[in-house]
Amino acid sequence: MKTIKYLFPPLLLLAVLSCRKDVNIKPKGNYESQLFIEGILYPGEQPRIYLSLSQPFFNKEVTPQEMFARGAEVRLSDGAREELLHPDSTYDKFRCRWVPYYLGQTPAEYGKTYELRVAFLGKTYTATTTISQAKVDIEEVEYTSEFFDVYGGHDGVILRFRDAPGQNNFYRFQMDRFLDTSRHHAHILEVIQNDCTNGEKFWITDLGRTIFRDENNDGQPMEMYAEVSFEYRRGDTAYIYLQSLDETSAAFYEDIDNQLQSILNPFVEPVFLKSTIEGTLGVFGSVVRSDTVLFVYPQDNP
Amino acid sequence: MRVSLLLFILLPWAGFTQNHTISGTVTDATTGEALIGANVFVTSTKTGTTTNSYGFYSLTIPSADSLGVAFTYVGYTAQFKKVYLDQNIELSVELAPGVGLLDEVVVSGVRSDENVARPQMGVVDIPTEKIKELPAILGEVDVLKVVQLLPGVQSGNEGTTGFFVRGGNADQNLVQLDEAIVYNPNHLFGLFSTFNTRAINNVRLIKGGFPAQYGGRLSSILDISMKEGNNKRLGVEGGIGLVTSQLTAEGPIKKEKASFIVSGRRTYFDWMIKPFLTSRIRTSYSFYDLNAKVNWQIGPKDRLFLSAFNGKDDATYIEDGIEYNVRFGNTTGTLRWNHIFGQKLFLNTSFIINEYDQNISALQDNSFSEVLSGINDVNGKLEFQYYPNPDHIILFGAHYLDHTFRSSGRTEAQSGSDPSPGIDANTIPVKYFDEFALYVNDEMKLSERLSANLGLRLPGFFSDEASYYRIEPRASLKVALGPASSVKAAYTMMNQFLHLVPSSTASVPTEIWVPSTEKTRPQLSTQYSVGYFQNFRDNEYESSLEVYYKDMRNQVLFREGNQLIESLDIDSLLTYGKGWSYGAELFLRKNRGKLTGWISYTLSWTNQRFEELNFGNTFPFRYDRRHNLSVVGTYELGKRWSLSATFVFSSGNVYTVPVGRVGVFYGGSLFEGNYFVYEERNNVRMNPYHRLDLSASHKREWKLLGKPLTSEWVFSVYNTYSRLNPYFVFFEVEPATGEPKAKQVSLLPIIPSITYNFKF
């Protein structure tokens, strides 16, 4: 699990000459928390809508439970019927914490248009999505011990597939697998003490951070190089999917990906998250998954 | 109407049979150097002119039995000549350095109020002698650091020599040395510019009311002239400083006919740091500059100049498995031929080449990355200066510029210990394109009180991808309110066919120049300015108040999240918008006496709007600084000691700070975490920048082997009270609490230095 970070050489020399001090920063005006909505519908699955409140930038980090927007009225309608979603949560055994959301009972269906309506603190926010993107299946999965992307050098997997012709497509990697605490995270998350598993394996979903567009590649064979989040040993198994996102969701996660590159780096232009929901922050969209492919790691991680 | 217009155009060309012309040059009596901008004034007719960039002047006036002509230049003893003008005469004058007075009667009529009298505004001339008197940093007084102290000019970050004029970006300044473009006038970190003060004769900054002979940039022209070399006697001067030393030799090749100057400067930071390095870490940094010039007076009407400049930076950092290299440099060469047709028409023909190369590479964890770019220009200029009568100076000419740009970048794994071969120069994509311009400019005196400077420039650009042809009208008008005061107004339109893809830092050389394309259209500015100029006490004090409004179109910035790593498809990384700037500039200068110096204050606003940035809303330009104050003073304490001080204050730069955070939760996925909520770009201002520099110099003149020798010790303190000025601010997350903390990085604390200068 290696990630190469390129430091620009003059910065290194500057670091020798420079000195640092903490400064207090006061952006203009008082910051008021905003509702953040993240709702991605998967055909065949119960809808989950994550609602949280944004925190002032310079506050300490809080848990998902503390950020959760309690008391919201969340409704999802497909035109024919409307459903009121109820608060629910899952336990994240990797981080040992509860992650709350609003859950619907009726699975989302391919081909339908959904309207999300969220009423919170006297305001109502609405957004719609249609699940119409093509399901594209994986033709081949290959292991790679080294490849390079904008984040540097990694090991991971290569997905090969043929783009669905005649439309703009946006793809993302997904890997599901069982883990135990001996498999560490690729990055700084390894410092997390996940001692809530009682030695049992737990299930994780690892979503790729890069959105692949089919620009200039309509209907052509495509390759997706994906970095994986966790360590592995030879013989470890995982279930791999190719996600097809709608354009709205793709744009939002591209912003997320771009901001990830710019965060904490003073030499990159900052990335503003553009909301797809009028009046507040967030995204409402959909993902169509490919059929699953069982993947067996051919070697230990380098 | 048409007849009047025709007469107006033809009148200056028609000439007057009863008139005669006085022409010649004004030079330094000790070195033979041309004095640029020296005043030539006929006291009886109260008409005058100034010398051009080669020290040449021409005055056509009615015949007279006896005329008094005064020649003056700041810092030189004025001269008064009586002439009988019954025919055209040539009158070349040598002025001796030092303050001397003319005859009392003549003094009252002599004009040294060029700032008030000329119709042009937004121009500041800085003779090198003035620059040398100011406080040094690490023993060096830098031309660009002095430019930063002028009204309307903002400095970049701490310690940099980058400058921003009237809200324009750094790429909108045309920096030229003997007419050759210098694309990167900084050494690494920008502590020094590439200009060696000892090799420079004159520095002229134009920031508004541009005459038509200048073009190609939106915001300013920094026109630097190299010395020509002493044509009377051989001389050597040098300086030994803490991190750099320099040596200059000049002298006649043929006395008063041909001369040379060679000047070199090198840093020895690489030698100094060696004893402190361990076997594990190897680092090195060095730069050098070389200037050379020869000139030859072929005959009374012909003169040849050949000048060259070469400067390079080389930085290396090597640690276990890591190797960084930064190399960049400028090379220029200028061949010029001056010819005088008769006495009224002066021709300058120039052939110029310039080259800029940069190569940045990094090897880390067996991964090698490299960014390489280069510029080669070849250009030719033909400029006529016609002096039909004292009321007109007409310039017209043509300029052709051929550009070759190269840029490439790559990243690849490096196996084993074999070093990467680097980018093959033959595989680098090359872009060829050309610029040209035709221009005409007339500086005219319309009445005793009214003068104007009207010009028209027709620039063009063509490449395989796109062609652009533009019209640039220029106009300046002056109304004299009295003998020592005037009001001026100017209108300027400028186009710029090159763009410097902006790096987030001002001095690290990651910027890459790109030409206009179909998508990246030429930058365009329209500037309006008005000013009031007033001198006091016979020009001992000069003052001005200028206000301006500048509109800038087709500005470029990186799209969100982008930085320049490789330059293969730069258009796709850019976003386009507009900017505008307005402000007021106050300038007060004391020219004579024991205490000399100036105070400059600028109050300005600069904003930008880009459809794809900041939700399409207006935001302040990165170097939008509300207040800028510079106080510069030099005090002669006696024959040997002089003291100088510089104080600067400016509002902090703006930058973008998130206002909130949101969480994205996906159980260990690589993008799980907190993301930033931004509401406004450039929403926070850094702490103000202020600094006091002090300097004391002790000069001694003595004899060595019977020859005069001048030695000087210069003691300077940069940032005297060690103010930690902001360089940039970044955020670090406390691991325990996840709380972001803002950290300010400062670069230069108090830096004392000592330099020994000598001249013989």
What confidence tens digit (pLDDT) does each residue in A64-114 have? Answer: 999 999 999 999 999 999 999 999 999 888 888 899 999 999 999 999 999
Residue A153 belongs to domain spanning: 138-274+286-296
Answer yes or no: do A14 and B189 touch at CB < 8 A. yes
**B671 touching A (Cβ < 8 Å):** yes
Domain boundary, last residue among A79, A109, A130 = A130
Same domain, A120 and A45: yes
Best residue of B677, B689, B727 to probe chain A, by most A CBs closer than 10 Å: B677
Domain boundary, last residue among B112, B135, B157 = B112
DSSP code of A262?
A: H
Which of A161-165, A246-250, B75-79 is predicted with the least confidence, judged by mean pLDDT?
B75-79
Same domain, B622 and B532: yes
Enumerate residue ranges in chain B where pLDDT < 70: 1-17, 99-112, 157-161, 188-190, 279-281, 364-369, 409-426, 502-511, 562-569, 667-668
Domain boundary, last residue among B55, B85, B112 = B112
Domain boundary, last residue among A80, A112, A130 = A130
Q: Which of A118 and B465 is assigned the larger pLDDT?
A: A118
Same domain, A151 and A186: yes
What pLDDT does B667 receive? 66
The structure's pTM equals 0.84
Residue B669 belongs to domain spanning: 655-684
Contacts of A302 in chain B (CB under 8 A): none
Question: How many beta-carbon contacts under 8 Å exist across A and B?
Answer: 241
What pLDDT does B423 receive? 63
Best residue of A4, A55, A57 to probe chain B, by most B CBs closer than 10 Å: A57
DSSP code of A211?
A: P
What pLDDT does A31 receive? 84
How far is B40 from B400, CA to CA, in rounded Å? Answer: 33
Token pair 């930008």: residue? B608
Same domain, A186 and A266: yes
What pLDDT does A9 receive? 41
Summarize pLDDT for A121-132 with one digit per residue, the tens. 999 999 999 999
Q: Which two tokens stand for residue A258?
A: 């771009």
Token pair 């600069």: residue? B606
What pLDDT does B159 receive? 57
Same domain, A154 and A194: yes
How far is B175 from B157, CA to CA, in rounded Å? Answer: 19
How high is the mean pLDDT of chain A? 86
Nearest to B523 by CA among B262, B173, B240, B181: B173
How far is B234 from B760, CA to CA, in rounded Å? Answer: 9
Q: For B155, how many CA atoms within 13 A lie in the half-sphere containing its CB?
A: 32
What pLDDT does B187 receive? 81
Best residue of B569, B665, B678, B745 to probe chain A, by most A CBs closer than 10 Å: B665
Same domain, A112 and A186: no
How far is B55 from B340, CA to CA, in rounded Å? Answer: 13
Q: How many domains does chain A have?
A: 2
Answer yes or no: do A12 and B324 touch at CB < 8 A. yes
Same domain, B485 and B588: yes
Helix (H), strand (E) counts: chain B: 6, 47
Token pair 């939106």: residue? B218
Categorize the per-residue pLDDT at A1 as very low, low, confident or very high, splitting at 50, 70 and 90: very low
How far is B499 from B520, CA to CA, in rounded Å? Answer: 9
Q: Determine, yes or no, domain membership for A26.
A: no
Same domain, A44 and A88: yes
How far is C-alpha B338 from the chain's CA centre? 24
What is the CATH number for A63?
Answer: 2.60.40
What is the CATH number for B47?
Answer: 2.60.40.1120
**B710 touching A (Cβ < 8 Å):** no
Domain boundary, last residue among A112, A130, A148 = A130
Same domain, B660 and B674: yes
What pLDDT does A8 receive? 41
What pLDDT does B702 receive? 86
Same domain, B530 and B660: no
Domain boundary, last residue among B112, B130, B165 = B112
Same domain, B570 and B678: no
Closest residue of chain B to A211, computed from CA coordinates = B671
How far is A75 from A118, CA to CA, in rounded Å? Answer: 6
Q: Is B620 helix (H, G, I), strand (E, B) or coil?
A: strand
Q: How many domains does chain B have?
A: 3
Same domain, A157 and A44: no
* DSSP labels, B16-80: -TTEEEEEEEEEETTT--B-TT-EEEETTTTEEEE--TTSEEEEEEE-EEEEEEEEE-TTB--EE
